[in-house]
Structure 1
Amino acid sequence: MNDGALFGPKPVFDRWVAAQLALLLVMTGALLAGAGWHGGFRGAQALSGQLPPLLWECLTTLGDERVLLALMLPFTLRHPRVFWSVVLAALLTALIARGFKWGLPMPRPAAVLPPDQITVIGWRLKGLSFPSGHTGSAFAYATVWFACLGWRRGWPLIAVASIAGFSRIAVGAHWPIDVLGGAVFGTCGAWLGLRLAARWRWGLRPGPHWGLAVVAAIAVATLPFDGQGYPGSLPWRIAVALWGLGGFAAAYLVPLLRGGWKAAVAPLAGVADTKA
């Protein structure tokens, strides 16, 4: 499936993303009305306790932007419009989430609950709880693909993003409302990123695209050296980094070394000048 086929027609984006956003808002309202701001945390942690902490350490890294970039790097040259949309969606989601974190500084579970009532895996975080940035990143990434692929091919990515969000409760970093908020903002960021990418095509031009891919590769290369408080995830982070960097080398560096710059940018010829 080529990049253009993934992107048309535009109403598909709105239909799938609107349905997802409506469901998340209903879930958020139901949680607040039924259990309050801190509701659902103990039950979710009890459920997560059925699985080993090491698994949750690895799963929670799915909200790390570097892991998401690593997973996508082998496909960025084949699907430059999706890559550009993901970059914009991630930036917009991060801005929205960071604005709420600093404008509405809420305490995390570890700052509210006694130590014997919470399981903390990794760093014991206490401030800037709402929303979950990891969940926002995971949903921004997954929603762009979901909107492009449609329900049948895209729902597994939303399921994985949901698991990444749940892992933030499992490690004791966030309340369920934080996770739902992150999912809502990630969905909104994805919709905005998709719309902006359709109008602003700077990231589809060969130079900017290559620059973004190189920055992504450099970020991915730091994964083995920075676990953001989850040292047990090191083997997983190494594997993901190797996947991403291997894909980057195969898609970008090999053509560059074999055929020079013209061969390296050939897949991007005319992409920025054609409608999605």
Structure 2
Amino acid sequence: MKNRATNFGPLEYWIFLPPVILMLLIVAIHFGGLGTPLFLQLNHISERAGDFIWIGLTTLGDGLVVCVLLLPFVRRKPELVWSMVLSWLLVALFVKGIKNLINVPRPLSVLSAADFHVIGAPYRFNSFPSGHAAVAATFAATFCLFYKQKWLRALLVVVALLIGLSRVAMGLHWVTDVLAGFLGGWSLAILAYPIAAKLRFGVSPVTQTIIGVILLAAAVRMLFVNHTDYEQAFRLQQAIALGSLLLTAGNIYRWRLSASGSTSDSIGKLT
């Protein structure tokens, strides 16, 4: 039987570089007084892309949507799933804890609505850090820990960056909110990786099945209930849920075929 512990390989050195870069950027923007001008510039430039693009990207950073994206990997990549689940738990504590602790005002509470473009609900408080950015960074970092393909890693990082940019484009977060979300999400994914390797019960079939049932229920709910604040995103949300359900159904079908084949082989040997 394959030793699943080998799937938790050693951490590569490059994985620690993004948090360092993000920390330096946060410090430079904060102490350089660049927060407001950088926010306004990025918000105005991104307005040219159109609201639909940014709504779609920000939907990809929604916590429930990202959870459903993980559904096809349940029991197929148990180490990845378990590490991701632990990462999300840590990220939830990180984001909610800091938001409630310091309650940084959002751009709409500081600037005039006439000065920048706002998409969606006019949120005014709990700006720091960006939860969407944290979730996106966690997803990207965890997949980078388990998949070595450079093109996939680059794609994941680019999509995460665009999700973060969408929060500025929609007028909901300062740039430092997004960078802090990236910093927390990426760092906590690194922290969760060795913890997941130690807590082996998370990769067991029983635990994976429980996780799968929860994610399955979330995917079914997403087919009928708009989880986001944007009506334009409902079709995308439904497409993601349906795609995850179809891929999962395909996995289950292959498992049943494999189990059936193994049973037939065993009976054949007995006869």
TM range (shorter): 0.7 to 0.9
Corresponding residue number in structure 2 for 1:170: 169
Distance 1:254 1:214, change over 3 A: farther
Determine the structure 1 residue equivalent to 2:210.
211
Aligned-pair CA distance for 1:36: 4.4
Q: Structure 2: how far apart are the matches of 1:31 and 1:252?
A: 49
1:29 positional shift = 1.6
Does the 8 Å contact 1:77/1:251 carry over to 2?
A: no
Q: Which residue of 2 aligns with 1:273?
A: none
- Of 39, 43, 59, the residue aligned with 2:41 is 43
Structure 1 segments unaligned to the other structure (5+ residues): 264-276
User: Could you tell me how far 1:256 is from its partner in structure 2?
Assistant: 5.9
Aligned positions, number: 259
TM-score when scaled to structure 2? 0.87
Paired residues for 1:107-146 under 5 Å: 107-146=105-144
Offset, 1:157: 0.4
Structure 2 unaligned blocks of 5 or more = 264-271
1:57-68 counterparts in 2 under 5 A?
A: 57-68=55-66
Partner residue in 1 for 2:189: 190
1:22 is aligned, of 17, 20, 23, to: 20
- Structure 2 CA distance for aligned equivalents of residues 8 and 210 of structure 1: 20
Pair 1:18–1:110, CA change in 2 (3 A)? same
Query: What is the alpha-carbon distance in structure 2 between the residues aligned to residue 106 and residue 171 of structure 1?
Result: 17
The C-alpha deviation readout for 1:244-269, integer Å capped at 9, x for no partner, is: 11122222377469969x99xxxxxx
Pick the aligned partner of 1:95 from 93, 96, 113: 93
Q: Which residue of 2 aligns with 1:156?
A: 155
Give the whole-Å Cα distance in 2 for the aligned partners of 1:215 and 1:164: 25
**Are residues 195 and 5 of structure 1, via their aligned partners in 2, closer, same or farther at CA, if it must alter by over 3 Å?**
closer
CA deviation after TM superposition for structure 1 residue 81, in Å: 0.3
Q: Partners in 2 of 1:138 and 1:231 — Cα distance?
A: 21
- Kindly tell me: are residues 151 and 182 of structure 1, through their superposed partners in 2, closer, same or farther at Cα, counting changes over 3 Å? farther
1:166-222: CA deviation from partner (whole Å, max 9, x where unpaired)? 101111111111000100000111011112101111211111110001111212223
Letter in 2 for 1:108: R
Output the CA distance in 2 between the equivalents of 1:256 and 1:92: 35
The equivalences for 1:190-269 within 5 A come to 190-224=189-223, 225-252=225-252, 255=255
Matches of 2:72 and 2:213 in 1, distance apart?
12
Matched-pair contact (CA < 8 Å) for 1:110–1:124: yes
Distance 1:104 1:3, change over 3 A: farther
The one-letter amino acid of 2:189's match is: A
* Counterpart residue type for residue 242 of structure 2: L
TM-score of the aligned structures, taking structure 1 as reference length? 0.86
2: CA distance between counterparts of 1:193 and 1:241?
26
Q: Which amino acid aligns with 2:59?
A: T
Indicate the residue corresponding to 1:75 in structure 2. 73
Determine the C-alpha separation between the residues in 2 that align with 1:151 and 1:252: 26
- Output the CA distance in 2 between the equivalents of 1:213 and 1:115: 43
Distance 1:181 1:8 in 2: 27
Contact 1:130 1:178 in 2 (8 A): yes
Letter paired with 2:114: D
What is the letter of the counterpart of residue 226 of structure 1?
Answer: N
Distance 1:110 1:130 in 2: 14
Q: What is the CA–CA distance in structure 2 between the aligned matches of 1:170 and 1:105, rounded to whole Å?
A: 21
Which residue identity does 1:143 align to in structure 2? Answer: A
